[in-house]
Structure 1
C-alpha cells in the first residue's frame, strides 16, 4: 500500500564513505552551483544491537553529509561526529566487559547511569570567521574540520560549564549533562568578505531550567526554597571557615541562565586561535533571575542585541529515567501478557513515565544589549567564580515558535521572522501504545511502523513578521500569513492544491552581510512538512483540542493528506512569493540556499541562487528499499520543480531525516581547515583536560573498569578519530578472541589503533549498512 510518509524516514545508513552523485533524467548540474553543502541527521543505533529504552528520532549520533560541487561534479561524503562519549557508547555496545556501563535511550536523550549523558552533535552548524561549529542542544558545540569531517575540540572545557539541576541528577559526572543551544550565534565580519582579518566572537547559553515534569510549579517552589536554604548554609560555612562570603557558580544549586561569550585570542604558534571564555548570569531589570521554562533551542544576533528564544523544545525529566524504570517492568514478564491487558497497561505506564506535558501557548524572548558585555559595570566571571549579573529584557509573542530569524540591522526597529508550528510538541513521538484518532472511523490510519518518529500537527501553522521598538521592547507591528493549501473553488473541498503552511519546520536564506547592503532578511525559504493522519495519535489530538490561539478549529482539519511544501516568503509584503508541493510519498528536509556565481540578470540577490534539499522516498516496487536523493531548485523559480535530482545509480542512497544545514564557499572551506598535527594535538589536549580528573576520581572509588575504558578506547580512538567500521571490527575481534575469564586490565594491545592499510575483519551488512527507528522499548538482551 502506498503511504503518504515514506518508510525511508525510519531507515538510515550509518556508512561513512564517499559517493559520486549523478543527475537523473539527463538534468545537468546548473551553472553557478558551487561550494559545499553540509547537512546533519540523528542516527538510530546499529541494527545488530538490542534496543534499550524508548528512542525519539532527534536522539542519535550525528551523521554529517557534505555535498561538494566542484568542476561540474557532485560528491557526497559522510562521517559520524565522534565525541569522546561516542566511543564510550560504541564500546559498551560491542564489548561484554563494558556492558554494565551501557547507555539507554530516554526519549530525546541518551544516557548511562555509570558514565553520564551523550553529546550527540546531531542538530546544526554555525559558521564563524575562523572556524565551523557543529552543535547539539544538550552538550557543548565542537569545532569541525570541513575536509576530514573530524571533530576537533569543544567550546570551553568542562570546568567552563555548569551541569543541569546543580549536578543533583543521579547519574555519573563524567559525561556531564549541560543545557545549551543548538543555534548559538557569532559576530559577523565588520566588512564583507573580510575573511581571516576578523577575530571570532561567539555567544551561547548555559542554563538549568529546574524540574519540568508534572506539578512543576509546586515542585520548583519547594526546590527553590530548599536550594535557597542550602545556599545560605553553604555561604555561612564559607564565612565561618574560610572568611570568604562569596560562592562560585558551581556551588549554587537551582535554576539559572548564563550567557557565555567565547572570543578568539591570537596564538602565533598555531594557525587556529585560542579562545577566551567569559560568562554572565542573566537577570531582568527588576533584579529577578531569567528562568527558562522550555529550551533555548535558538539564539539570534543583531547590531545591538543578543536574543534568546525560550522555545518549545523542552526536556521532560521523566523521559531521562524511563528506560531504567520501564526496562525493569518489561523484565518482569510484561511482554508475555495478553494484548488486552498489555495494551491498556502500557498506555498507562507511558502516560506516567513519558507523559505529554502541556507547553506554554506563547513564546518568550530575552534581549541582551551587546554594549553591556564590555561595560565595566558588568564584569564577566568564570564558572568557578561568583556569578556576575547582566540585564535582559523580556518580550513575548502569542503561539509557539519553531524557529526564527532576525534582521541584523536594528537602528529603527527590531524585526523577527517567525514560524509558528502550532498544534504539536516537537519533542513528542509516536510510541508503541499510541492509538489512531477515532474522529473518523475507517479513515484514520496511524503508522505504527514509524515508532519514534515525530508526531504530526493538529493545527495549521503560520509565518509572521514582528517589529519591536529596540529601546523599550514594545511591539510596534505584526503581520502573518497562513494557507491550508486546499482547493477552495469547490464547496466543502479538502483536496490539496499546492503551497501550504502546515507544520513549518526549518528555513534558509542568503547569508546576511555577505554583501555590503545585505543586513536584512528580504526573502526566506521555509519547508512545511504538511499534514497527515498517519502521524497523529489520539493523545496528541486530545491534548491540542482546546489550545489557545488555534489557527483553525479541530473540526476543520482536512480529511486528506496535504503535501510537504518548499516555499519562498517575501518578508516585505508578507506573501508567499513562490512554492513547490512535493509528490505523495516524498519527505523534504534541510533546505539550503546556495548563492550563484553566475551574474544576476536583475534577480534580487536574496533570490539569486539555488535551494538544495534532502528528499526521502521509497522504491516504487519495494517500500522497504530507500531511494533518497538531493533535489536542486532555482531559488527564483520554485514552482517549476527541481532542476536537478542527484542520486547514486549503483547503490541507492539511504539518507537520514536530516535537521539543519549550512553552505561554505571555497574560501570559507579553506579558512576552516586544520592541519593533521593540529587536529591531533587539540583533541589530545582537550580530552585529557576534560576527563583525567574525573577518571582518577572513578579509579579512587574502585571503578577500574571506567579507567580501562578511557585508557584503552576513549583516549586513543577519539584522538585518532577511528572510523565506526574499524572500531566495531576491533571490538568484535577482541571479544571473540578473548576468553570470558581473561582480565581486561592488560588488554590495551587488543584495542591498538590499526593502520588504514592493515587488513580488517569483515563487517556484516546488518551491523553497519542500515538501522531503523522501530524503537519500542524491549527488555535488554
Structure 2
C-alpha cells in the first residue's frame, strides 16, 4: 500500500521531433540514443515498438515559450486532448543501443491550426470570422473549420497478401485513421476519402452553409485486420448519432455561452498587441443582422428536431488496402442502431464482427468553454453538474455475421447481446467453434475514462494555494474495483453463455487500462488467447474527488462500498503490471481465470502503454518481453525528466530487467503501443491527395478559408525549426 502522490511528470511533455534529417527535415535533432540506467538489455530483444500519445497543440507550445509543454494547465483540457506524437523504439541494433525516433502526426488540420494561430489575418475582424481552434475538453474545435483529427490513440499493423512489407495505421475515435510510414513516421494518407465517410452529425454545420472542411468522423480507435480473408481486410466502423450525440451540440452551446457570458481564451495570441486588442469585441449588429441570426438559430433548432429522429447509424467498413470502401448499414430489429457512447474498440473472429457501445463517453460539460469571472464559473460549474452523467453500466453488443456482408446488399441485420459491467477495451479469440464467440474484457466498473480533474473540483476562493501542481486533465481514480472477465456469446443467436469467468483482486485490479499479448502474427487476433498483460492505474488519494464519487454513488454493480473505496484510496494501491492467465477445458472453453503473475511499481510510480515483444527463444504466450513507460516524481529529474522505459521478462514479472532513459526524452501521458518485426519504408501506391480531397468542400467556403488552405494546408507550411 502507498499514500504517495500521483507523479506530476505525466503533466509535461516535449513536442520536439527527433529523427534522421533525410526522414524528417523538421526534426530538432537525430534520434536519441537511450542510456541503460539499470540492468541489461536482453540479447534476444528485437524489432520496433511504436507508442503514441497526445502532446498538446501549437497553442500549448506558444504558452510555454518552449517545446516542453503542459497541455492541460488551463484546468479544463483533458490530458488526451492533443496532437498525436509517435515514439519508435528501435531494438534492431542492440550492439549500438536503443534509439528513439519521434514525430507529430501532421494531418491537414494541423497546418490549418498552425496558420490560424500564427497569422493575424485568420483571427477575426469586423469583416471576417475568427478561424482559430480552441481546446474544448477532449476536442480541439474551430467554429468555422471543424474538428481536429488528432491521431493520438492507437495503431493497427497490417500486411496484405500481395505486399512484401508491413503497413501501419494510426487512429483516433473522432477522425479518419491515417497510414504512416514506419521508417519516417510521416502521416502519409488518410484511409478513405472525405466523401467515403459520413459525419457523426450534420448539426455541426450552419444552415445554408457548406459543411466545415474538417468534419467530425466517429469511428473505432481500435479497428481490426484479418490477414486470412481475401488477401487481407481492414474492418472498422462509421457511426452517427442524432440530437443525443454530444458533438451535435458543440457549436450551438459554445456560441450561446460565448454570446451570453463572454469567453476569455486561455490560449495566448502571438500576434502584435495592436492586432489582438479588438479580438473579442463583437461588431455592432444591425437589426437585420440580428433578425437573420435569430432566423438561423431557429432553423438550426428545427433541423435538430428532425435530426433527433433520423440521425443514428452504424456502418461497417471493409477496406482492401488499395481501393474504395465497401460499406454496409447495420440494423437491429429493422431499425438503425443507436450508439450512445462510442465504438472505441471492435472485435473480429473468423465468422463475426463484434461491435460494442463501449464505456468511453464524450460529455457536454467537458466541452463547455472556460469562463473567467467567478460568477460565470459558478454558472458553468452548475451546468456541468446538471449535464454530467455516468457511463452506461451495461455493454450493448452487436454481432454481425461476416457472410451477410455481400456485394449489392446495403442493410444487414445484427444480433444483440447485453453483458453487465461496462468496458472500454476487450479482445476476442479469432476462432469461434460452434458459433461460440469468446470475449475477454477489462470491466472498468465505475471508472470513467471520460471524466478528469478540472478547475471545477476546486473552489479558487476557498481552497488554499496548492503545495503541489494540480493534476488538471488526469483521469479521476476508480470508484469501484475493476473486474477482468471472460464471456461467451452465441454469434448465431446472440445468447450469452451462463458461466462467465470473472476475477478481481483488492491489491491489483484497480483501473486495468491498456492490454497487450502475444499474437501468432502481428496482424490479427490469436486463435485463442492464453495470457493477457494489463497495466493498471492503482488507487491514488489525489485522484479521487467528490464529483466522481457523487456521479457513481448509485452504481448498480457495486462490489466495494464508497466508504471503503475512500479508505482504500487514502491508503493507496500501487500501479501495477499483471498477467491474466486463461485456463481452458477440453473444449477450449475458459475454465478458470487467474492472475498468474504481477509486479507492483514503487510508491509514486505509474505505468502506461505496455507492449508485448516476442522472443525468438520460444513461441509460448509468455516467451517475450513487456516494454512500457513509467512515470514518477515532479518531472524535474535532470537525467530522466521523471519518465523511463522499463523492460520486463514476460515470463517473470517480479522485477524489471532493464531501464532506459535520456535527458532529452520527455514523454507525457501515452496511450497504446504496437510492435513490428521490421520497420520498412512505405511502398504502397494508395494515397489520397490533400487538395483533391478537400477542394470540393473548400471552394464553397469564404475567401479567408480558401486562402488558408492555399497558403498553409496544401503546401504543408511549417514554422522554422527553433
TM-score tier by shorter-chain length is: 0.7 to 0.9
Matched ranges for 1:410-489 at <5 A: 410-412=432-434, 413-435=436-458, 449-476=470-497, 477-485=499-507
CA deviations over 1:427-474 (Å, ceiling 9, x no partner): 1111102049xxxxx9xx997611122111111111001122232221
**CA 1:626–1:345: 2 relative to 1, 3 Å:** farther
Find the aligned partners of 1:710 and 1:534 in 2 and give their Cα distance: 44
Partner of 2:588: none
**Residue 539 (str. 1) matches residue 544 (str. 2):** no
CA deviations over 1:186-230 (Å, ceiling 9, x no partner): 21246xxxxxxx73311111111223379x9xxxxxx9x977996
SS in 2 for 1:88: helix
Find the aligned partners of 1:592 and 1:446 in 2 and give their Cα distance: 35
Partner of 1:118: 148
Find the aligned partners of 1:54 and 1:621 in 2 and give their Cα distance: 24
CA deviations over 1:48-102 (Å, ceiling 9, x no partner): 4358893111211000000010221211000000100011111222222223211
Q: 1:402, CA displacement in angstroms? A: 2.4
Partner of 1:153: 189
**CA 1:628–1:517: 2 relative to 1, 3 Å:** closer
CA deviations over 1:30-59 (Å, ceiling 9, x no partner): 021000000000112344435889311121
**Residue 60 (str. 1) matches residue 82 (str. 2):** yes
Partner of 2:98: 74
Q: 1:629, CA displacement in angstroms? A: 0.9
Q: 1:166, CA displacement in angstroms? A: 2.8
Find the aligned partners of 2:205 and 2:519 in 1 and give their Cα distance: 40
Contact kept, 8 Å, 1:406 with 1:416, in 2: the verdict is yes
CA deviations over 1:550-569 (Å, ceiling 9, x no partner): 12111212131111110000
Contact kept, 8 Å, 1:212 with 1:315, in 2: the verdict is no
Contact kept, 8 Å, 1:52 with 1:105, in 2: the verdict is no
Contact kept, 8 Å, 1:417 with 1:466, in 2: the verdict is yes
**Residue 22 (str. 1) matches residue 35 (str. 2):** yes
Contact kept, 8 Å, 1:362 with 1:399, in 2: the verdict is yes
**CA 1:32–1:534: 2 relative to 1, 3 Å:** same
TM normalised by structure 2 equals 0.79
Partner of 2:324: 276
Q: 1:15, CA displacement in angstroms? A: 0.6
Partner of 1:757: none
Moved more, 111-120 or 201-210: 201-210
Find the partner of 2:317 among 246, 260, 284. 260
Contact kept, 8 Å, 1:62 with 1:120, in 2: the verdict is yes
TM normalised by structure 1 equals 0.74
**CA 1:516–1:56: 2 relative to 1, 3 Å:** closer
**Residue 568 (str. 1) matches residue 592 (str. 2):** no
CA deviations over 1:645-671 (Å, ceiling 9, x no partner): 0111xx2521021101100012xx33x
**Residue 300 (str. 1) matches residue 324 (str. 2):** no
Find the partner of 1:690 among 693, 697, 707. 693
Find the partner of 2:393 among 361, 364, 367. 361
Find the aligned partners of 1:2 and 1:19 in 2 and give their Cα distance: 35
Find the partner of 1:627 among 642, 662, 665. 642
Find the partner of 1:93 among 108, 111, 117. 117
SS in 1 for 2:456: coil
Contact kept, 8 Å, 1:56 with 1:107, in 2: the verdict is yes
Find the aligned partners of 1:256 and 1:396 in 2 and give their Cα distance: 19
Find the aligned partners of 2:327 and 2:630 in 1 and give their Cα distance: 41
Matched ranges for 1:21-60 at <5 A: 21-25=34-38, 27-46=39-58, 47-49=60-62, 54-60=76-82
**CA 1:169–1:712: 2 relative to 1, 3 Å:** closer
CA deviations over 1:170-196 (Å, ceiling 9, x no partner): 495211111111011121246xxxxxx
**Residue 590 (str. 1) matches residue 609 (str. 2):** yes
Find the partner of 1:728 among 713, 719, 722. 719
Q: 1:475, CA displacement in angstroms? A: 1.8
**CA 1:624–1:707: 2 relative to 1, 3 Å:** farther
Q: 1:358, CA displacement in angstroms? A: 2.4
Partner of 1:529: 537
Partner of 2:275: none
Find the aligned partners of 1:168 and 1:69 in 2 and give their Cα distance: 45
SS in 2 for 1:55: coil
Find the aligned partners of 1:207 and 1:517 in 2 and give their Cα distance: 23
Find the aligned partners of 1:664 and 1:692 in 2 and give their Cα distance: 36
SS in 2 for 1:86: helix
Find the aligned partners of 1:449 and 1:3 in 2 and give their Cα distance: 15
Q: 1:525, CA displacement in angstroms? A: 0.3
**CA 1:3–1:555: 2 relative to 1, 3 Å:** closer
**CA 1:708–1:576: 2 relative to 1, 3 Å:** same
Find the aligned partners of 1:33 and 1:132 in 2 and give their Cα distance: 21
Matched ranges for 1:387-426 at <5 A: 388-412=410-434, 413-426=436-449
SS in 2 for 1:203: strand
Find the aligned partners of 2:147 and 2:636 in 1 and give their Cα distance: 41
Find the aligned partners of 2:524 and 2:355 in 1 and give their Cα distance: 26
Partner of 1:203: 235
Find the aligned partners of 2:93 and 2:660 in 1 and give their Cα distance: 16
Q: 1:3, CA displacement in angstroms? A: 4.5
Matched ranges for 1:4-19 at <5 A: 4-17=5-18, 18-19=31-32
Partner of 1:712: 711
**Residue 642 (str. 1) matches residue 666 (str. 2):** no
**CA 1:502–1:707: 2 relative to 1, 3 Å:** same
SS in 1 for 2:344: strand
**CA 1:311–1:514: 2 relative to 1, 3 Å:** closer
Find the aligned partners of 1:54 and 1:291 in 2 and give their Cα distance: 29
Find the aligned partners of 1:517 and 1:124 in 2 and give their Cα distance: 16
Partner of 1:177: 216
CA deviations over 1:133-187 (Å, ceiling 9, x no partner): 1001000001111000011111110111111223454495211111111011121
Contact kept, 8 Å, 1:12 with 1:43, in 2: the verdict is yes
**CA 1:619–1:8: 2 relative to 1, 3 Å:** closer
Find the aligned partners of 1:28 and 1:705 in 2 and give their Cα distance: 57
SS in 2 for 1:638: coil
Partner of 1:578: 597
Runs (5+) with no aligned partner, structure 2: 19-30, 64-72, 124-129, 161-166, 249-298, 584-591
Contact kept, 8 Å, 1:614 with 1:629, in 2: the verdict is yes
Find the partner of 1:351 among 360, 382, 385. 385
Runs (5+) with no aligned partner, structure 1: 191-197, 217-222, 232-251, 265-273, 381-387, 437-441, 486-499, 730-759, 764-781
Contact kept, 8 Å, 1:446 with 1:535, in 2: the verdict is no
**CA 1:106–1:623: 2 relative to 1, 3 Å:** farther
Q: 1:301, CA displacement in angstroms? A: 0.3
Find the aligned partners of 2:193 and 2:317 in 1 and give their Cα distance: 12
Find the aligned partners of 1:226 and 1:346 in 2 and give their Cα distance: 26
SS in 1 for 2:100: strand
CA deviations over 1:281-312 (Å, ceiling 9, x no partner): 1111x212211111100011001001111001
Contact kept, 8 Å, 1:446 with 1:533, in 2: the verdict is no
